[in-house]
Amino acid sequence: MLVVGVHRDGAGLCTHRAAEVVGLGPLSPSESALLLSTAVDGADTAVVRRAAELSGGNPLYLRTLARAAADTLRSGAAWEDAAGAAPACGIS
């Protein structure tokens, strides 16, 4: 069985001896761009770059940005408007 969890460092959640902690670093700007471009068809290059900057490489927040951009575009807005649709980051 595979159980995946996300938590902040120091949470003390991985004290079970069978648990294996795999620390992941932030996504690179190119990895962030690939994730966003895959999640949102026809992603504008400037918006992809801005989302990569805003997310700081955090894949969970980047996915939130992708959803916000997709929702904004579905309402008929332009990509320039989607770039300003970034929700506040509640993850660190």
Predicted pLDDT of residue 92: 44
How far apart CA 70 and CA 74 sit, in angstroms, is 6
d(CA 57, CA 51): 9
Q: What is the pLDDT of residues 17-73, one digit of tens each?
A: 777 777 778 999 889 888 888 877 777 787 788 888 888 888 888 888 888 877 777
Q: Residue 16's CB: how many other CB atoms inside 10 A?
A: 7
Q: What is the DSSP letter of 16?
A: S
Distance between CA 67 and CA 71 in Å, rounded?
6
